A and B are shown apart, each in its own frame.
Chain A
Amino acid sequence: MSASKAQDSRLDAELQQALVARLTAMADDELILGHRDSEWTGHAPLLEEDIALANIAQDEIGHALLWLQARSELDGSDPDELAFFREVGAFRNARLVELPKGDWAFTMLRQYLFDAFETELLSRLRDSRYPPLAEAAAKAAKEEVFHLRHSGLWLERLALGTDESRSRLTSALQRIWPYLPQLWQPLPGDAALQRAGIAPNPADLEQPVMARVSAALAALGLEPPADAVPNPGGRDRHGEALVSLLVDMQSVARADPGVDAW
Chain B
Amino acid sequence: MATAPTPSGEGPRWEVFKQDTPSKPHQAVGSVHAADPEHALLMARSVYARRPAAVSLWVAPAEAVFAVTAEELAAAEPWSVEEAGEERLYQVFRKTSHRRAMTFVDHVGEVSAPGPRAAVAAARQAFPEPPALAWWVVPTARLSASPDDEAAAWFEPAADKTYKQQSAYGLLAPKKPGRSKGGDR
Interface residues, chain A, with chain B CB atoms under 8 Å away: 46-49, 51-52, 55, 58-59, 62, 78, 80-81, 85, 139, 142-146, 149-150, 153, 157, 256-262
Contact B42 A149 (CB under 8 A): yes
Knowing A142-B152, A260-B170, A261-B171, say if A55 contacts B181 (CB, 8 Å). Answer: no
Contact B33 A258 (CB under 8 A): no
B87 at the interface (CB under 8 A from A): no
- Chain A positions within 8 Å of B181 at CB level: 78, 80-81, 257-258, 260
Interface residue from B11, B174, B183 paired with A46 (Cβ < 8 Å): B11
CA separation between A157 and B40, bound complex, in Å?
13
Residues 108 to 167 of chain B near chain A (Cβ within 8 Å):
150, 152-154, 156-157, 161, 163-164
Interface residues, chain B, with chain A CB atoms under 8 Å away: 10-11, 32-35, 38-39, 42-43, 45-47, 50, 150, 152-154, 156-157, 161, 163-164, 169-176, 178-183, 185
Contact B179 A258 (CB under 8 A): yes
CA separation between A143 and B173, bound complex, in Å?
32
CA separation between A257 and B34, bound complex, in Å?
42
Contact A62 B32 (CB under 8 A): no
> Looking across the interface, which residue of chain A has its beta carbon closest to that of B44?
A48
What are the 4 A-B residue pairs with the smallest beta carbon separation, nearest first? A145-B153, A52-B46, A261-B173, A261-B170
CB distance from B77 to the nearest CB of A (A): 40
* CB pairs A–B below 8 angstroms (12 shown): A46-B34, A52-B42, A85-B182, A143-B153, A145-B150, A153-B38, A153-B42, A257-B181, A258-B179, A258-B180, A261-B174, A261-B175
- Inter-chain contact count A-B, CB under 8 Å? 92
Contact A142 B35 (CB under 8 A): no
CA separation between A200 and B32, bound complex, in Å?
41
Contact A258 B50 (CB under 8 A): no
- Chain A positions within 8 Å of B154 at CB level: 146
Contact B152 A48 (CB under 8 A): no
Contact A51 B46 (CB under 8 A): yes
Contact A48 B170 (CB under 8 A): no
CA separation between A51 and B170, bound complex, in Å?
23
- Chain B positions within 8 Å of A157 at CB level: 35, 39
> Looking across the interface, which residue of chain A has its beta carbon closest to that of B32?
A48
Contact A142 B10 (CB under 8 A): no
Contact A59 B157 (CB under 8 A): yes
CA separation between A62 and B173, bound complex, in Å?
24
CA separation between A141 and B140, bound complex, in Å?
33
Contact B180 A146 (CB under 8 A): no
CB distance from B155 to the nearest CB of A (A): 9
- Chain B positions within 8 Å of A46 at CB level: 10-11, 33-34, 43
